[in-house]
Amino acid sequence: MAGVAIRDVHKSFGPVKVIQGISMDIADGEFVVMVGPSGCGKSTLLRMVAGLESITSGEIAIGERVVNELEPKDRDIAMVFQNYALYPHMSVYQNMAYGLRIQGRPKAEIEKRVQRAAEILELDKLLKRRPRELSGGQRQRVAMGRAIVREPKVFLFDEPLSNLDAKLRVQMRSELQALHQRLKTTTLYVTHDQVEAMTLAHRMMVMNAGRAEQIGAPLEVYQKPATTFVAAFIGSPPMNLIPGRIAQGGKVLAHDGEISVRLPEPRPALEGRDVLLGVRPEHFETCAQSEALLSPDIDFLELLGSDSLVYGHLGADKQGMRVAARLHISILAKEGRLPLRFSAEHVHLFDPESTRRIED
């Protein structure tokens, strides 16, 4: 087992800069999730750790060893691909044994290890089948089995659950968690699904356009997003970001003074500064008109049963500032103004220029 160190790694495909300086130290046994929108370079970063892409500049180390120049086979890693990449002409058993056979392990040992992995993943009855005779979830398990029989130092997963239906995804997610608790192998996991990231990660890296916007524990990322990008990416619906200004006495005036909220503590250093006021949809609550901090005009509702999503706009202009709220009541008026309030505890402030969080 070993940790992974990524040190100022860059990657260009010709003139296109895909990864623009990413650093992260991953501890031995840690489960790290890289999350970000499509095309942000998650797979590229993972493939550089695997040795499937060259590293343009910077350094990647697995354990103590810098692996920049090592072939994938010499890095002692295993990877699970999004499309599983099972060998279609081999049985499940052969798929799992392939890597061990190449290592030249004795037959008895191969058999024992494959058998054990198959038991862990409940594949023991399917060992003789070909991949095309398996369901999506079973294929996914075989891909996982192929990775774990080799007992590598590091697991790399590239969106392993994205081809499964919603229910199976939830099930496999908890199985993955259990598997990691059992094996405690350092894991790098790529996904664009924030729920997967939040539930699986010890720490997560939120990526955007080839950069790491924030690295931290899931709750920390949720509670203290480092940039407006992270604030909008983690959480659903995304955080509301309303332009405003800090007035005297620690008041935030947003949307041309329509919204006025007093910060928990006065911030004299910030007075007069333009900010983006961030409030998560789930931190709104309905209230009497007299207590309301804002009263958006309702555009449409999504009733989810457990709670309701309300989408509206501020001011008279229909194209104006959009606001989303997640409320724990299910019956609502379909139109009109909805008085809402939020606690100052839940306010996030961002610099509109740099988009960075203004630390509290």
Partner 1 sequence: MEKRVTFRSAWLPYALLAPQLAITVVFFFWPAFQAVWFSFQLQDAFGLSTQFVWFDNFIALFGERNYWASFRTTAIFSFSVAALSISIALLLAVMADRVVRGALVYKTILIWPYAVAAAVAAVLWSFMFAPSIGIITYVLKGLGVDWNWVLKGDQAMLLVVIASAWKQIPHNFLFFLAGLQSIPKSLIEAAAIDGAGPARRFWSIVVPLLSPVTFFLLVVDIVYAFFETFGVIDATTQGGPAQATQILVYKVYYDGMKAADIGGSSAQSVILMIIVIGLTAIQFRYIERKVHY
Ligand X SMILES: Nc1ncnc2c1ncn2[C@@H]1O[C@H](COP(=O)(O)OP(=O)(O)OP(=O)(O)O)[C@@H](O)[C@H]1O
Judged by beta carbon, residue 18 or residue 234, the one nearer ligand X is 18
If the CB atoms of residues 13 and 87 are measured against ligand X, the closer one turns out to be: 13
For residues 189 to 228, the per-residue mask of contacts with ligand X, x marking binding by CB under 6 A and - elsewhere, is: ---x------------------------------------
Kindly state whether residue 251 participates in binding partner 1, applying the rule CB under 8 A: no
The entry of ligand X, Mg ion, partner 1, none near residue 18 (CB within 5 to 8 angstroms by kind) is: ligand X
Q: Cβ atoms within 10 A of the Cβ of 175, count?
A: 17
With CB under 5 to 8 Å by kind, the binding choice for 183 among ligand X, Mg ion, partner 1, none is none
| 44 binds ligand X, rule: CB under 6 A | yes
275: tokens are 């900010």
Give the x/- contact pattern for ligand X in 22-41, rule: CB under 6 A. Answer: --------------x-xxxx
Stretch that binds ligand X, among 12-20, 120-128, 181-189, 252-260 (CB under 6 A): 12-20
- Note whether 173 binds ligand X by CB under 6 A: no
Task: Assign 75 to helix, strand or coil.
Answer: coil
Rg (CA), the chain: 24
Q: Is 311 in the site for partner 1 (CB under 8 A)?
A: no
- Choice between 146 and 348, CB closer to partner 1: 146
Residue with tokens 């890095």: 75
Helix or strand or coil: residue 90? coil
Helix (H) or strand (E) holding 70: none
**Closest approach of Cβ 127 to ligand X, in Å?**
31
User: Which stretches does DSSP call E strand in 162-284?
Assistant: 186-191, 203-208, 211-216, 240-247, 251-254, 259-262, 274-279
CA distance linking residue 198 with residue 194, whole number of Å = 6
* Shortest distance (Å) from residue 171 CB to Mg ion: 23
The stretch among 11-19, 42-50, 66-74, 305-313 that binds Mg ion (CB under 5 A) is: 42-50
83 binds partner 1 (CB under 8 A): yes
Q: Please answer whether residues 92 and 126 qualify as being in contact, where contact means their C-beta atoms are separated by less than 8 angstroms.
A: yes
- Please tell me whether residue 43 binds Mg ion under the rule CB under 5 A: yes
CB nearer to Mg ion: pick between 43 and 295: 43
Choose one: 13-21, 148-156, 212-220, 332-340; the region binding ligand X (CB under 6 A): 13-21
Binding-site size, ligand X (CB under 6 A): 12
Matching residue, tokens 């989810």 = 304
| Alpha-carbon torsion angle 180, 161, 212, 215, nearest 10 | -30
Buried b (16+ CB within 10 A) or exposed e, 22-47: bebebeeebbbbbbbeeebbbbbbbb
Among 72, 137, 238, 339, binds partner 1 (CB under 8 A): 72
* Under rule CB under 8 A, residue 48 binds partner 1: no
Q: Report in angstroms how near the CB of residue 208 gets to ligand X at its nearest.
A: 10
Is residue 191 close enough to count as binding Mg ion by CB under 5 A? Answer: no
- The least distance separating Mg ion from the CB of residue 159, rounded to whole angstroms, comes to 6
Chain center to CA of 252: 31
The site partner of 52 among Mg ion, partner 1, ligand X, none (C-beta below 5 to 8 Å per kind) is partner 1
Residue 81: φ, ψ to 5°:
-90, 160
- Nearest Cα residue to 142 out of 74, 200, 88, 75: 88
Residues in a beta bridge with 254: 244, 259
| CA triple 289-257-328, angle to 5 deg | 40
Q: Which residues bind to partner 1, rule: CB under 8 A?
A: 50-52, 71-73, 77-79, 81, 83, 85-89, 98-99, 102-103, 130, 132, 146, 150
Q: Which residues bind to Mg ion, rule: CB under 5 A?
A: 43
